[in-house]
Structures are given as C-alpha cells and as structure tokens.
A and B are shown apart, each in its own frame.
Chain A
Amino acid sequence: EAGVTQSPTHLIKTRGQQATLRCSPISGHTSVYWYQQALGLGLQFLLWYDEGEERNRGNFPPRFSGRQFPNYSSELNVNALELEDSALYLCASSPPGGSNQPQHFGDGTRLSIL
C-alpha cells in the first residue's frame, strides 16, 4: 500500500511569492490534514479537508488556504509568503470513521523563504 506522498520535497521561495504544496492520501482515505512544523514550535494544525470540503482550520491567517480534489488529493496554498512561513509542512490522511482514526503522515515539504 502506497503511503501519503507529498511534493515537492523542498521548495525555496522569496518573500511575497506564492507557494503550492501537494498531497496524495492513502487509497481509501477521505480526510486530508495539513500541519506546519516550524523549528521549536511543534506541529500546528492548519487545515482539515474531508469529502472535498474544508471542515476545520487552525489559527492561521487567510493567506493559508487549500482545497481537496474529487480524487481526495489536496493542495495547500500560501500567498504573500513571509520569512516566518519557513517550516516543514506535513500532510496526513485518515480513513472514514471520525476522530478515533489515526492519521498517516507523509514525509513533508520543507519550505524555505529567503
């Protein structure tokens, strides 16, 4: 079974640019989650998509947005990039079944803002 895949592995941008990160969930998983793992700050919940809809978002500004496609893959878009957006962005997926289901993580996209 293929795991959660994320692309690109690394992304280098400058301030003010826009970044797009992609995630493909495990086959059969309908929920996709996005997290930011900044140095020294742990994992911060960004967004949850389920069945194509945004179901919940964390305490991040509106320039962090995304979507989920009919095949359940997902994009995270970050507009007007700032230096503090530099972090590892992790995507996770889970099967139907609610909060009892564990999340399966990808290896992440490391976003660096110069």
Chain B
Amino acid sequence: GDSVTQMEGPVTLSEEAFLTINCTYTATGYPSLFWYVQYPGEGLQLLLKATKADDKGSNKGFEATYRKETTSFHLEKGSVQVSDSAVYFCALSDRTNAGKSTFGDGTTLTVKP
C-alpha cells in the first residue's frame, strides 16, 4: 500500500538557518504530493503541492520538488523565521486509491531567535 516516510523530529534551528525536511513515498500509481503545516493551536493547512514529476511547489519561501526517480518530495527553505515554528506533514494522494490521502507522521520544527 501507499506510505509516506518523513524525517523524524523534532528539528530545532536558529533564525535564518537553512531548512530541509526529508520526505520519501511509496505509491502504486501516480500520486499528487503535498506539504501541509499545522501551527500551534490551529488545524492543518496546505503549504504547497506538486501533481507530476519534476513539478516544483512553492509558497511562503518554502519549496519542494517532485522527484520520481528518488520518490522524494523534500521541503526546503533558505532562511527560516520564528513564525515558521509548526508541525509539517508530507502527504500523497494516489489516483488509483481514490480519495485516500496518506500522511507522514509529521515533523515538529522549532525556530529560535
């Protein structure tokens, strides 16, 4: 079945540091890939997405590229801010398993001033 494996957390960085959160996936079909973010006390919200190989999703300075050859969708940001402190979830939605999204376990990021 489908699965998503995320880099284990928690991750603690200083402000302006470079961020990478690794995400790899297993899917039987051709999935769409997503990153969601959950800020403290809030629900999940979409951060970015990519629907086919080599697509790059980007939002709020975050980027992730759909790499079919390595089945990866790593999240990166060049310079993190304290306000980026949150839990980040990698997810896939597989067209061959309609409607079911598979989520990673989440990675908690804390950015210190």
Check A108–B98 contact: CB distance below 8 A.
no
Could you say which interface size class chain B belongs to?
20 to 34
Among the 9-residue stretches A10-18, A67-75, A78-86, A98-106, the one with 4 or more Cβ atoms under 8 Å from chain B is A98-106
Q: Hey, which chain A residues are within 8 Å of B49, CB to CB?
A: 100, 102
B24 CB within 8 Å of chain A: no
Q: Does B58 contact A (CB under 8 A)?
A: no
* CB <8 Å contact, A90 and B99: no
Distance from B67 Cβ to chain A, minimum over Cβ atoms (Å): 18
Q: Which residue of B lies closest to A88 (CB)?
A: B43
User: Is there an interface contact between B93 and A99, defined as CB atoms closer than 8 Å?
Assistant: yes
Q: Is B94 an interface residue (CB 8 A)?
A: yes
- Assuming the contacts A48-B100, A58-B100, asked whether A42 and B43 have C-beta atoms less than 8 A apart, the reply is no
Chain A residues proximal to chain B, CB less than 8 Å: 4, 31, 33, 35, 41-43, 45, 48, 50, 55-56, 58, 90, 92, 98-100, 102-108
